[in-house]
Structures are given as C-alpha cells and as structure tokens.
A and B are shown apart, each in its own frame.
Chain A
Amino acid sequence: MRASLRIFFIGGLTSYRALFTWLTPWILIPTFIVEPIFQVLFFAFVGRDAGVGSDSFYLVGNAVQFASIPCLFAMGNTISNERYTQTLGLLLASPARRLPLFLGRALPVILNGFLVSLVVLTLGAAVLRISIPVSSWLPLVAVLAVSSFSCTGLGLMSAALALRVRETATLANVIIGVLIIFCGVNVPVPALPGWMQTISNVLPLTHGIEAARELVGGASWGSVTGLVTTEALIGVVYAGIGMAMLYLLEIESRRSATLELA
C-alpha cells in the first residue's frame, strides 16, 4: 500500500517534472497564458462580427477548453518522452502496479489543466470586461476541476495510443481539434447537426462548458449539479477505458516487441 502511494504521489510528481518539458517559463507563459488569451479574443471578435453569441459565451468556452491542452499533451508525453529517454522499457519491466503508476502521472496534469483554465478565465474576463458574479466563482472552480479531470481521462487514452504511435503531439492536436468543433466551445451544441450533437454528449468538456456558461450567467450550483455529475462520469469512463487500453497495449507491445518501434 505504502509503495503504491509513493508511486502515485512521488512517482507522479517526478514524472511530471521530468517528462512534461513545457514547464520552463519560455514555454509556459506563451502557451498557457498568452496564446489562450488571444484565442479567447479572436473568437470573441469573430462572434461580434458574425453577430452571434456574447463575449462571455466565447470566454467560457475557450477557457474551459484550454484545460484539455496540458491534459492531452502531458499525458501523451508520459509515454513518448519515456521512449525518447529510453526508459520506457525499464518502466514497464518494473513490478510497479500500473494503476498508481499511471493515475499518479495524471494528478499533476489535472492540476495543471485546472490552473490554465482558471487563469484564462480570470484574465480573459478582465480583458473583455466581463463581470462574473462573485457567488459563481467557487462553483466555477469546481466545474473547471471536474472538466480537467475528464480531459485527463481522454489524455490517458491518448497516452495508451502513444504505445502504438510515435507522433503523440500530432495526436493531441487532432483530439483538441475535435473537441473544439464538437464540445460547444465556439458553436452552441444545438446549432450542430444531430449526429454531431450525439457525439458531443459523450465527449469530455461538453457538459463542463455548459455548466460553466450557466454559472457565469448567474445560475446556482444546484442547477448545474446534473451537468457536473455527467462530466465527472464521462471522465471516469474515459479514465477506465484509458487504463484498460494502457494495459492491453502494453501487453501487445511486449508480445510484438514494438515498445521502442512505435
């Protein structure tokens, strides 16, 4: 038990610091602060030009979506950078239990995604002069944390695929692109075709974004608990599928000796 806790907390933090190479301020500030603010501004102005949606609509959509960036990239890096540093084989040959090993790596990532979202939401609101009710901030923090968790579930799946594909950054970009279109980031889900709405309902972020928009609009925590619970459940399902995929693809990689070849 103690070993598992050590792997979960210390192993997770060490892995995050060692393998997520974006932690230098030279990457962190442009990628997690400046770029997201400009994305928010870009879509807010596009919305003004199109005469569709309010500034707060685009602020919330893009701020919550930015939780997915560290969640997907950092989780992909946990595998691809292990391979790059030639430690992937050693890691998977170790007797460490896989559940604390990979979930421990997810915890700092969830925190990272949550902080990015919160910073973008705060700075974006200041730049666009959007007033968010004081009573909404605490529930918003909870929604952002849950959305970061659900994205990390998707990140675990991405990490599992990294056992089979080399271009994890590309994979993460593609997944983020899909989330931007399907999850109501800039286009309300009801404005999408029916088949896209069906898909959006089973993706992370969709319910988190909807809940955050309602809270910014002044809704109470009680009125969004259903959406938040759904978002959390989706995260659990994705995390479960991600762990299963990691387990299966690890076996497959060992069997076919493709761990270093992917």
Chain B
Amino acid sequence: MSAEATTYAPSPRDSSVPGAAQRVRRVLRLVGIGWWLQLKNRSRSSFDGILSIAYPLFYATSIFFLYRQNGDQAALVSAAVGASLMGVWSAVSTSASLTLQGERRQGTLELLVAAPTPFSLVILPATVSMATIGLWSLVVTLLWGRLVFGIPISFDQPFVFVVASVVLAFSLGLVGFLQAMASVRYRFAWALGTLFEFPVWLICGFLVPLSLLPDWVRPISWLLPPTWGVGAVRQAALGGSPWPDIGMCLLTGAVYAAIGVVLARRLVDSARGNATLALT
C-alpha cells in the first residue's frame, strides 16, 4: 500500500462523505429495509399471527354483543370502527415493550448498540412493523362484525379511511418506539406494555367519546397521538373532516418519536456507562 493511500484526506466533493440528501436517503433506506425485514420476521409464525388477530376479537365480540343490546344501529357501527382499531394498539403495546428484552435475550442488543447506525433507527422500524401487523386485525374485526353480527360496513370517505388508518398505525408505532426506549432498563417490560393497553383504549376514545370522560382526562388525551388518529378514522368512516386530525396525529407522533430518540441516546449511553445493558 502506498504512502499516499494511508494519508488520504477526503476532499469536500469526495463521494465517501455523504451529503445531506444522501444521508436522508440512507436513513430512509435503513428504516424501509428494517421495517420490511421486521415485518417478514414477525409474519413467520402463523401461530402468532392467528393469535394477534384472535386476541382483539375476544374483546370486539364482547363489545358487539354489548352495543347490540340497546338496538342503536349507529352506535353499533361506531363501536365496530372503534373496536377494529383496538387490535392495532394491542399489536403494539406489549410487543413494543418487549423489543429490547427480545434483543437482549437473543444476545443482539449489545451488537445493535455498538453498531455505527443510530440505535433509534434500528428499533423504530421494529415497532412500526408491529403496528403494521395490527392493521390485519382492523380488517378482520370489521369483517367479523359484518359477517357474524351483520354490522354494515360503509365508509363516508373510503380512501381517507385507509389513509387515516395507516397514519394511526404509524403513530402507534411511534408511541411503541418511545415505550420500547423507556423500558430499556426494565427487566419486566412486558408488564409495562400490558399495563398500557386498557388506559390507551379508554382515554384515546377508541370506543368511549372523550366527552364522557372526566374533564381532567381530556388534556391528557390530546397529548396522545392515537386520540387524533382514532378521531380521524372515525370521521372518515362516519362523516366529518378528518384531515386536521390526521395532521395532529402525525405531529404528536413526531414529538413522541423525537422524545424516543433523545431517550434512546440518554438511556443507552447511561446503560453503556454503567455496564447495565445486559441487566444481569
């Protein structure tokens, strides 16, 4: 090897130093491929897949029976939309908390933390892929309601319904990302995830209108992306103007992602510094 090669200094126009556009492209590629890889990985087990669909159906079935009792068809349709969204959060809440514990168990957590790629960009696609799988439960719950309970499925704005559902799922993935990061030092993270399932269903208006909740709960609801996402999906399905809610869902979701990135840096650095990453 020549002396020139070992003392090589990159020029500003050198292709090995990425520009801003190239960095963005690399990040998008990393997140996109990570999401696809995680999605394929999580879709491998038919057993898990069927369970992730069946579990929300247990609650949805109770809810359909419950709303059917008073004979109000409009309330039943609204409940069907809400119940179908519950499964998306179910797919994220516990699994997201388990993300880092899973990596820890496989012995890959240290490798991911030590990799030059920002840790957040490796974990974010995982939690978004969980929410993506949750979208199956949305479809199946609506079909279950239609075929078993005879609930009519007709959306006021079908295209916007799809957009709002995808945005809601994405925002839940971002909430899951923050949850995953927050539980990096928590050995029993799955319990934390289970803990959040019902509160989010309740205070984000998945089924119960926010107006029914105590006044002091509403400001908390507004801080949670699913509140806006659920509102958007409901308006797209039943009538209304969902776009402002879609915007708010993305905005609040981005704030959660930003907090998650900061937490990732702080908590992972702390865990590395104190040699507690493995929690042994």
Contact surface of A with B, Cβ cutoff 8 Å: 24, 26-27, 30-31, 34-35, 38-39, 41-42, 45-53, 167, 170, 173-174, 176-178, 180-181, 185-187, 191-192
Contact = CB atoms under 8 A, between A and B. Distances in A.
Interface string B33-77: 000000000000001000100110111011101111110100100
A42 B66 contact: no
Contacts of B209: 49
Nearest to B59: A180
B237 interface: no
B202 A191 contact: no
Interface in B241-274: none
A52 B51 CA distance: 29
Given A180-B58, A180-B59, A187-B62, A50 B67 contact: yes
A43 to B, nearest CB: 8
15 contacts: A30-B192, A38-B195, A38-B198, A41-B202, A45-B213, A49-B75, A50-B70, A50-B75, A167-B47, A170-B51, A174-B54, A174-B55, A181-B65, A186-B65, A192-B65
Interface in B60-110: 61-63, 65-70, 72, 75, 79
B188 interface: yes
A109 B129 CA distance: 37
Contact of B66 (A34, A46, A173, A177): A46
Interface string B229-241: 0000000000000
Contacts of B192: 30
A168 to B, nearest CB: 13
B191 A31 contact: yes
Interchain residue pairs A-B with the least CB separation, the first 3: A177-B58, A38-B198, A30-B195
Nearest to A191: B69
A173 B51 contact: yes
A48 B61 CA distance: 18
B198 A42 contact: yes
Given A42-B201, A42-B202, A177-B55, A27 B191 contact: yes
A181 B58 contact: yes
Contacts of B58: 176-178, 180-181
Nearest to A179: B58
B150 interface: no
A52 B69 contact: yes
